[in-house]
Each structure stands twice: as C-alpha cells, then as structure tokens.
Amino acid sequence: MDKASLFGVVVGTGLVLAAILLGGSLMTFWNVQGLLIVAGGTFAAVCIAFPTAELKMVLPVTRRVFNDPGDEMMDIVKFMLKAAQIFKRDGPLALEEMAPKAPNKAVHKGLQLIADGAKPTAIHEILGTERKYMEEHHRVGQKIFNEMGKFAPAFGMVGTLIGLVQMLSDMSDPDALGPAMAVALLTTFYGAVIANLIFIPMVSKLDRRISIEVTHIQLAIVGLMSMHRGDTTTIMREKLKGFLQQEEGDLDAMLKG
C-alpha cells in the first residue's frame, strides 16, 4: 500500500469534512439530486467517450495508484548482478531456476529467453514491445481519469444550471427556493471536490508510476544485454548504477550487501 496516496485521500477528505462541521451540519452538504447529477453524469460521459475494453482497464490501473512499488530498482540491480555470476559459472540453463524468483516480469522473461538461447536483438525487441504495450495500457487508464477530472466539474455546472432554472421557474414559493439553490451550489461543490481531490491527483500519480515501470523495464534490458554480452561484474554494475539515485559510497555498499 502506498502510504502517500492513502494519506492524501484520508487527510484531504478529513479536512473538507472538518471545514464543513466547523461551519454547521454535515447534512447541509448532503444532496442526493446533486450527487446523481455529478456522479451519474460523469460516469455516463466516460462510457460514451471510451469503449468497453478500455473502461475495463480502470480497476487494475487504479490499484497502481495505491500500490507501493517499493525499492524495486535496487532489487532488480542486485538480482541481475547475482544472475550474471550464475550465468558465467553454470551456463544459461541455470537461469531457468532463477527466473521464477525475478523481481519483475521483464527480468523473468529476459532470463527465460537467455536460457532458451534467444539472441540479444530478439530479447531487446520482445522486451521493448512489452514496454510499449504496458505504457499504452496505463496511459489509457490515466486518460480516463483525466477526462473524469474534466467531466465532474462540468456536470457540477450542469447541476448549478438545473438548480437555478428550478429556482427561477417558481419564485412565488419561498419554500422551494432553498432546495433549488442547494442543488445549484452543491453540485458545483461535489464536482470540484471529486475532480481535485481524487481524479486529477490520480492522473499525476499514474504518470509517475508509468515512468517508474518504464525505467524498470529499461533497467532490465540493459542488464540482460550486458549479461548476454559477457561483461564483467564490474562493468555490468557500472552500467546499472546509472539508474540508481543513492550516493556513490552508499550505493556500492548496498550492491555488495
């Protein structure tokens, strides 16, 4: 679980609720009509904008917002260096036993390809294609959330217009003015909160997640090519160190550990 994402949702929601409670009752901000307009309208608009096959990607992509990738970069480097030593000592078939223990799918597939005798160009092409497909897959989910971030405030404005029309259509009834004005204002509130607290931040987080996963695959490709080429452990370590951010001394200690 990514603590930052969970923290942001909990704290953001908590602060909005606290601001409401400090100024009055929570029920004052509860309006079923407004919620139906914003939530239902946003959902309907997304269904119109995207095909069913792409809408099914939303749930898996959403999980990536709240899943913590951890320090996978360092794990990949350590694993690749260890795999290179075993490859030199025991040959390519020994990599089949290591492949299931790989820290990600790219390394797993790459080791299997080396064990099967695949050429470096084939390995690079296969993993490059997977990288491209993975990025496109996640970009679709990101685009859906981006559009939802646009649709929610827009339908908030639609609700505002509906409320104003209802209010202006019967100015003779003072009792009807309050509920109509509530719809007019609360739909804008719902749309703004949902878009700026949920959808738009998720787009930014997914952009970072995609960048990290692309880097992981690129790191795997560099390590696998170096292993296949028969580079020494020192040369391979230097190639892989460029992907890491730690200080030089700390990094060497971590890799040796």
Let me know the angle formed at the C-alpha of 208 by 204 and 210, rounded to the nearest 5 degrees: 115
- Span 175-179, mean pLDDT? 70
Average pLDDT of the chain to the nearest whole number: 84
Of the listed ranges 67-81, 87-101, 147-161, 239-253, the one predicted with least confidence: 239-253
Integer Cα distance of 105 and 224 in angstroms: 13
Distance CA(186)–CA(163), nearest Å, equals 10
- Span 115-165, pLDDT tens digits: 888 888 898 899 989 888 888 888 888 899 999 999 999 999 998 888 788
| Sign of the Cα pseudo-torsion (246, 252, 255, 257, in order) | negative
pLDDT in tens, 200-218: 998 988 888 888 888 888 8
pLDDT value for 147 = 93
DSSP one-letter string for 117-137: T--HHHHHHHHHHHHHHHHHH
Q: Give the pLDDT band (50/70/90) at residue 254.
A: low
77, pLDDT greater than 90: no
**Stronger pLDDT, 63 or 125, i.e. the higher one:** 125
Name the nearest CA neighbour of 37 among 196, 156, 147. Answer: 156
pTM equals: 0.76
Rounded mean pLDDT of 185-191?
89
Question: Which pLDDT band holds residue 253 (cuts at 50, 70, 90)?
Answer: low
Where are any strands of DSSP class E within the chain?
none
CA distances from 191 to 47, 61, 196 (A): 18, 22, 8
